[in-house]
Amino acid sequence: MCGIVGIVSDKPVSTRLMEGLRRLEYRGYDSAGIAVVNGRGIVRRRAPGKVLNLQNLLDGAPIDGNCGIAHTRWATHGRPNEQNAHPHQAGNVAIVHNGIIENFKSLRQEMANKGRVFATETDTEVIAHLIQDNMDEGLSGEDAFLAAVERLEGAYAVAALVGEANQTLYAARHGSPLVVGFGKGEMFVGSDAFALAPFTKRVLYLEEGDSAVVEIDSVRVRDEEGASVNREILTASISTVMAEKGNYRHFMEKEIHEQPEALARTMAAYIDPETDLPALGETAPLLKNADRLIAIACGTAFYAASVGKYWFEALAGVHVETDIASEFRYRTPALPQNGAALFISQSGETADTLAAMRYCNRAKVDTIGVLNTPESSIARETKTNLRTMAGPEIGVASTKAFTAQLAVLAMTAIGTASLRGRLSEAETQEHIRALQALPELVQKALATKAQCQAIAPILAKAKQTIFLGRGGYYPLALEGALKLKEITYLAAEGYAAGELKHGPIALIEEGTPVVVIAPNDPLIEKTVSNVEEVAARGAKVIAITDEAGAESFDTRAEHTIILPNLPGLTGPIVSAIPLQLLAYYTALELGTNLDQPRNLAKSVTVE
């Protein structure tokens, strides 16, 4: 959630710390702050709200030094104001933190009993006091930091300045990611390699329980036991160019338009060009022999998993259970004896999904990641990985990562069916060729833009919008509602079309917009019957269908968004596009902050 960046250099670091923060702002934007060590000791500036506010503050009251840390916050403990903004300081210690310190109350009480005065409502401030207290007891800066970190319970990534003239960064991770970057005459720490991309691509990922002492030209890493370890230095794959908005107004708009290319890249990675058959690499044996699959994720990624369930069951005949990670991890689930668990995540750092994956690893269930971030914790800890090639997704609302997840799941379901002899070679190739049409189909779906923009004012004015779908389009209805909620703050709910009459139909009143996702398939007439039911009660029906399905809606819908015909498994993937566009243009109409909607953050590293 929160973003951390630190630099120790032979030159001043403020400007680059701010650049790092701007790249990290997608992780949280409740407040931002910076602290540097210079001739006056540790000095800091903090501001509520966006990084821009901090920049304005610094422009008026600059600070600089050759060693510093900075933070952009997604508030957990304490209101998002200046007082609670990181870095937190106690004496000659400044600290930035991502995560939650679960035992902060008892530690805080202990420090207060020693006469230490707290200035914030946060769980983080206690870390600074613990370190300073250890130094007051006579420990060196390094030992004081390590002894403090040892006492923390919960999830954290921390970076600290310790001592009034010490040109060293201290860092530790437990549950939240942290990387160390190698530059020329300078070193970095960051929440992710993306934050450091303008400065260096040479990074090492701290592992669970690691701590690091980072100096201008070196890093010393210790593992959980305190033993010195060498972690591999990797070249991060993230391109800085890919993270620019270009000519688009928002990252979300750009990412929606990047989908044809993202899907082409993703599929190319899993199709054998000689045979047009799926190439699942080392994941193939896990899927071939599994008697049951579980698919676990959060938010949009969970809806991708839910579509995948329909495909795996229909094509490969494998029983699939889907679960929200935050429920799965605490409900003592009955795990498959001879099965495999799929973990779907854009960031690969979502705390609940990571915990669920570790639960399965401990239970010796084969774990498979479907991930967009190859260096992430989930990618490194799952037995095998299926990568989505969506490229960095910066907009908080997931768009291209979702369709890339669906493409990988479609490919995997087809591959599994083929491995189990449920699809002949010719049938498999037919399915794969249908998927290969995705970039073109999605390009055509993007042409519904003007129509979605014209419909947006209806949604913007409505008290609430209902989304309906059946089969593989039911999770799309949930995703359409989530997309609209998160960026417009309007009420929206998704339902299985057949479930409506069991309660939710009571929500329909004169003029309620009902978005129905129903391209032509064997269930379309059933969905159309449900449309009749809501239309009869005054709903304003907006149908998303394909050419073959358009006739079924005829005069029943007030607006019909017509996609090209959608062969094989392409339907739910292409149908996502108008849903994204409807949400995007409604938010534009309302003037909300599309890329950084209130209360949200891109990567949810707290539970």
Cβ proximity to ligand M6R, 18 vs 236, nearer residue: 236
At closest approach, how far in Å is the CB of 79 from ligand M6R?
A: 23
Instruction: State the DSSP string of 229-270.
Output: E-PPPEE----SGGGS-TT-SSHHHHHHHTHHHHHHHHHHTT
Q: Catalytic: which of 2, 67, 298, 452?
A: 2
φ and ψ of 153, to 5 deg = -115, 145
605 binds ligand M6R (CB under 6 A): no
Among 345, 418, 448, 451, binds ligand M6R (CB under 6 A): 345
- In sequence order, the 6+-apart residues with CB closer than 8 A to the CB of 583 are 397, 480, 483, 484, 487, 488
For residue 479, the minimal CB distance to ligand M6R (Å) is 8
Selected binder of ligand M6R within 300, 451, 580, 596 (CB under 6 A):
300
Q: Is 194 helix (H, G, I), strand (E, B) or coil?
A: helix
User: Which is closer to ligand M6R, CB of 47 or CB of 587?
Assistant: 587
- Which residues from 482-541 bind ligand M6R, rule CB under 6 A? 482, 486
Establish whether 449 is a catalytic residue. no
Active site annotation includes 2: yes
Using CB under 6 A as the binding criterion, the count of chain residues that bind ligand M6R stands at 16
User: Measured from the CB atom, is 18 or 24 closer to ligand M6R?
Assistant: 24
Task: Determine which one of 483, 485, 540, 602 is catalytic.
Answer: 602
Asked whether the beta carbons of 329 and 350 are under 8 A apart, the reply is no
Token pair of 579 as six digits:
């849903």
* Segment contacting ligand M6R by CB under 6 A, of 255-263, 342-350, 406-414, 469-477: 342-350
Taking residue 334's Cβ as centre, other Cβ atoms within 10 Å add up to: 9
Q: Six-digit token pair at 169?
A: 């960064």
Rg (the chain; Cα; Å): 25
Buried b (16+ CB within 10 A) or exposed e, 93-129: bbbbbbbbbeebeebbebbeeeebeeebebbbbbbbb
Q: Contact region for ligand M6R (CB under 6 A) — 53-61, 74-82, 297-305, 574-582?
A: 297-305
Residue showing the smallest CB distance to ligand M6R in the complex? 299
Among positions 361-400, residues that touch ligand M6R (CB under 6 A) are: 396-398
Residue 299 or 571: which CB sits closer to ligand M6R?
299
Dihedral-angle region of residue 570 (phi above 0 means left; psi in -120 to 50 means alpha; beta otherwise): alpha
Between 211 and 605, name the residue whose CB sits nearer to ligand M6R: 605
Binding mask 239-278 for ligand M6R (x = CB under 6 A): ----------------------------------------
Amino acid type, 542: I
Cα of first residue to Cα of last residue in the chain, in angstroms, is 10
The two tokens of residue 434 are: 């249908």
Q: How far is CA 109 from the centre of its chain?
A: 35
To ligand M6R, the closest distance from the beta carbon of 394 in angstroms equals: 12
Residue 191 as a binder of ligand M6R (CB under 6 A): the answer is: no
Among 14, 191, 346, 545, binds ligand M6R (CB under 6 A): 346
CA–CA distance from 192 to each of 178, 282, 301, 344 (Å)? 6, 27, 20, 19
Smallest distance, ligand M6R to C-beta of residue 378, A: 8
- Let me know the angle formed at the C-alpha of 426 by 420 and 428, rounded to the nearest 5 degrees: 50
Q: Which is nearer to ligand M6R, 398 or 448 (CB)?
A: 398
Q: Which of 20, 28, 299, 513 binds ligand M6R (CB under 6 A)?
A: 299
Decide: is 301 part of the binding site for ligand M6R (CB under 6 A).
yes
- Interface with ligand M6R by CB under 6 A: which residues? 298-301, 345-347, 350, 353, 396-398, 482, 486, 603-604
Active site residues: 2, 602
